[in-house]
Structure 1
Amino acid sequence: MKEIYAVIRPNKIGATKEALAILGFPGMTAVKVVGRGKQRGILGEVSFNIDPELLKTTGGMKYVPKRLVYLVVDDADVPLVVAVIIKINRTGQIGDGRIFVCPVEEAVRVRTGERGKEAI
């Protein structure tokens, strides 16, 4: 099993969730996060009012609003899930995000006690 973390643009969360559900991966967690990559924040990245505390004097931002999506999938499903996340979220512009794939040693469904692949 692997856990896939994807940091994506806020306006792409709906399409990402829908695409994953269509492919049979309805279970995921998504949270609002702020951060920045190598670009150090892009003021034009967002289309809403920004807290003045987030703005830098250089015209950039300390942090850019993003969404963090994560889900656990079987090893065999990793290439498909990663490819779909890329397809939905790639704009070709700075700030498209990152995907991280990490090993998962164990999964346990609390309600039933199922373990491993059956728990996801």
Structure 2
Amino acid sequence: MKEIIAIIRPKKVEPTKEALVELGIPSVTVVPVFGRGKQRGIAEELNIDIRPGLLDQGLLAGMKYMEFIPKRLLYLIVSDEDVDTAVDTIIKVNQTAQIGDGRVFICPVDNAIRVRTDDQGDSALL
């Protein structure tokens, strides 16, 4: 089993959730978070698209900055055989080629236990 942690734009939560459900992965936890990455808190990231390369060229000198940008943190636990499909789907739905598309992290999970039934391992996932 693996834990997939994805940081995505708020407006991409519903399309991501729908795509995962189509794959048969209905279980996801979504948490509102604030953060910043390579865009360094560019406020306009919320409203406009930034052409690729502008940040690297230093052409954003006059832009306003905010400390953190609202994002959504998705947590899902999937069986080993579903990891690649789930990650590929998350990337496909969220990739705009713009700064701020997010990140995906994959971590090992030793076990899962369903509290109600004591099911363990993959059987505790669904």
What is the TM-score when the length of structure 1 is the normalising length?
A: 0.89
Out of 83, 86, 92, the position equivalent to 2:91 is 86
Deviation by residue 1:15-47 (Cα, 9 ceiling, x = unmatched): 000000111000000010000012211211224
Are residues 1:42 and 2:42 paired? yes
Q: For 2:39 and 2:91, locate their aligned partners in 1 and report how far apart those are by CA, in whole Å.
A: 19
Unaligned segments of structure 1, at least 5 residues: 48-57
Report SS of the residue matched to 2:64.
coil
Report SS of the residue matched to 2:73.
strand
Q: Percent identity?
A: 57
Out of 111, 114, 117, the position equivalent to 2:119 is 114
Q: For 1:79 and 1:104, locate their aligned partners in 2 and report how far apart those are by CA, in whole Å.
A: 15
Q: For 1:88 and 1:115, locate their aligned partners in 2 and report how far apart those are by CA, in whole Å.
A: 31
Q: Give 2:12's aligned residue.
A: 12
Q: Give 2:56's aligned residue.
A: none
Counterparts of 1:7-86 in structure 2 under 5 Å? 7-47=7-47, 59-86=64-91
Runs of 4+ in 1 over 2 A off after TM superposition: none
Unaligned segments of structure 2, at least 5 residues: 48-62
Count of residue pairs brought into register by the alignment: 111
Q: Read off the aligned partner of 1:85 and give its amino acid letter.
A: I
